[in-house]
Homo-oligomer: A and B are copies of this chain.
Amino acid sequence: MNNAQDHAFTLDEIARRLGARLVGDGTRRVSGLATLSDAGPEDITFLANRAYLKFLPDTRAAAVLLHPSHADDCPTACLTMDNPYLGYAELSALFDPLTARDAPGIHPTAVVSASASLGKGVQVGPHAVIEDGARLGDRVIVGPGCVVGTDSVIGEGSRLHANVTVCHGVVIGKRAILHSSCVIGGDGFGFAHDGSRWHKIAQLGGVVLGDDVEVGSCSSIDRGALGDTVIGDDVKIDSQVQIAHNVQIGDHSALAGCVGIAGSTKVGRNCMLGGGVGLSGHLTLCDGVQVTGMSLVTNSIHKPGVYSSGTGAMSNALWRKNAVRFKQLDDIVKRLTRLEKKQRNR
């Protein structure tokens, strides 16, 4: 798909918006953004990763956004910035067809409670439901099929894509982006056992999302048992993530797809959790912790750095042998220790 034709900008305009230095003809217009190898003569492109430097000489793009150190290698107009990847982020917003299309208004099929309060320029899509006492800030966009529960608050400029569920008593900050079918504020998983069966513990807390939070499609952030589940400012959460009750995530942390965090665990600021990472409950991860994909963390981490667990893939034939040996590992060490003793006693 290519929605690039919806927008066109001169290189001068782009340089001004990005604060970039332009080398080349500022009156040339570009109407699309593409990769170095895919870009055509109507497109602007960027170079932010040295691995793609090899594509620079042959690019057909009208202009390339890149680091000043690569300007001499650029066969066409260029815009230079110290952080071209950041420039790419700004370019992507310029060329985003979604930003152009939104028209405020409440669709006639939406069900909006008389006791809900809606700010200026709010858009509520077809079949969306806004329950009693909910408050939507200015310019909030609620997509088709979304449900915003009783007494929940959505901060200004936030967008809920289609079929999002925000349960009752949830507080969402400004400029949130919630993707389709994510659920904010479903019950946490709490039960007391009487010796023979489970008794539900009603989940009386809420969920509080800071400003600039993004949540991917089909992700779940559960409400607190007592007290809230708290997601800090500028936290980015990918698709298929599970965040259990009373978890706390510090500002600017990023969680990749399929991460699961068990109840009451605290993740610090500026942490990064790779895809499929699992954190046990009641842990504390300090600021600046990175955990690589599919690692299991069962103890708190008090020192910034990169952490990992598991084993990488190998041929199944080799793996079968090694996995059996893993089950014998403690015995293997005992055998080794015995040998060492004999050696020493000689």
**Which positions in A face B, CB cutoff 8 Å?**
1, 3-4, 33-35, 38, 83, 85-86, 88-90, 92-93, 95-99, 101, 107, 109, 111, 125-127, 129, 131, 143-145, 147, 149-151, 161-163, 165, 167-171, 177, 179-183, 186-187, 189, 191-194, 196-206, 212, 214, 216-220, 222, 225-228, 234, 236, 238-242, 244, 252, 254, 256-258, 260, 262, 275-276, 278, 280, 290-299, 301, 305-330, 332-333, 335-336, 339-340, 342-343
CB pair A107–B111 under 8 Å, yes or no, is: yes
- Cβ distance A250 to chain B, nearest Cβ, rounded Å: 13
CB pair B191–A89 under 8 Å, yes or no, is: yes
Known: A312-B296, A322-B329. A90 touches B129 (CB 8 A): no
- Across-interface contacts of A333 in B (CB, < 8 A): 325, 328, 332
- Across-interface contacts of A313 in B (CB, < 8 A): 291, 295-299, 301, 307-309
Partner of A319, one of B193, B196, B309: B309
Residue of B nearest to A95 (CB): B204
Measured in the bound complex, the distance between the Cα atoms of B325 and A343 in whole Å is: 22
The 5 closest A-B pairs by CB, nearest first: A1-B206, A186-B217, A96-B202, A92-B202, A306-B316
Number of copies of this chain in the oligomer?
3
Partner of A144, one of B147, B177, B307, B320: B147
Partner of A83, one of B192, B308, B312, B332: B192
Partner of A339, one of B181, B199, B340: B340
CB pair B165–A181 under 8 Å, yes or no, is: yes
Measured in the bound complex, the distance between the Cα atoms of B327 and A241 in whole Å is: 28
Known: A165-B162, A165-B163, A192-B85. A143 touches B147 (CB 8 A): yes
Residue of B nearest to A125 (CB): B129
- Across-interface contacts of A92 in B (CB, < 8 A): 200-204, 225
Measured in the bound complex, the distance between the Cα atoms of B206 and A4 in whole Å is: 12
- Across-interface contacts of A252 in B (CB, < 8 A): 196-198
Known: A206-B1, A239-B189. A161 touches B165 (CB 8 A): yes
Measured in the bound complex, the distance between the Cα atoms of B312 and A280 in whole Å is: 11
- Cβ distance A5 to chain B, nearest Cβ, rounded Å: 12
- Cβ distance A262 to chain B, nearest Cβ, rounded Å: 5
CB pair B216–A219 under 8 Å, yes or no, is: no
Residue of B nearest to A246 (CB): B35
CB pair A186–B161 under 8 Å, yes or no, is: yes
Residue of B nearest to A94 (CB): B202
Measured in the bound complex, the distance between the Cα atoms of B183 and A295 in whole Å is: 26
CB pair A332–B323 under 8 Å, yes or no, is: no
- Across-interface contacts of A161 in B (CB, < 8 A): 165, 167, 186
Known: A183-B179, A294-B278, A314-B309. A218 touches B216 (CB 8 A): no
- Across-interface contacts of A222 in B (CB, < 8 A): 216-217, 239
CB pair B197–A234 under 8 Å, yes or no, is: yes
- Across-interface contacts of A275 in B (CB, < 8 A): 242, 260, 262, 278, 280
Residue of B nearest to A171 (CB): B1
Known: A257-B260, A294-B296. A322 touches B326 (CB 8 A): yes
- Across-interface contacts of A170 in B (CB, < 8 A): 1
Known: A147-B162, A202-B93, A343-B342. A315 touches B307 (CB 8 A): yes
